[in-house]
Amino acid sequence: MDNPVIVSLIVSGVGMVLLFIALGILYGLMYLMTAVIKDRPADVFSGASADEETVEKIDEAKQKVVVIAVALARAERETFAPSAPPEEASPWWTLHLQRQLTTKIPLRSAR
């Protein structure tokens, strides 16, 4: 037991066993939760049976919402068209860029 390699192998083995036990417990808990908690039928959510007219009205309303959203998105895109970048850089930008290019990066010396 004095050999550090053997001790490290034992420690890593115990850690792996504990990890797999924890993963197994988590898997078991998820399995139990999905077995116990069941989804309710769709009729419970609606409260009453949905007839075809109601479904068609909902589909038409969704379609109108989509059309309005697309129209608004297109209008917004047209009003906020990207402008062309300036042809010349401002003096401040030129100074900043020049300072970045001329500063020398200190080299690391090997110690």
Per-residue tokens: 57: 């009205």
Give the mean model confidence (pLDDT) for residues 13-21: 98
Tokens of 91: 């003096």
What is the predicted pLDDT for the residue at 37?
Answer: 86
* Rounded average pLDDT over 7-19: 97
Per-residue pLDDT at 85: 56
Nearest to 69 by CA among 77, 59, 80, 57: 77
Rg of the chain over all Cα atoms, to the nearest angstrom = 33
DSSP string for residues in 15-38 = HHHHHHHHHHHHHHHHHHHHHHS-
Query: Which residues lie below 8 Å from residue 79, measured CB to CB, with a gap of 6+?
Result: none
Q: Residue 48 — very low, low, confident or very high, per pLDDT cuts 50/70/90?
A: low
Lowest-pLDDT choice from 8-12, 62-66, 93-97:
93-97
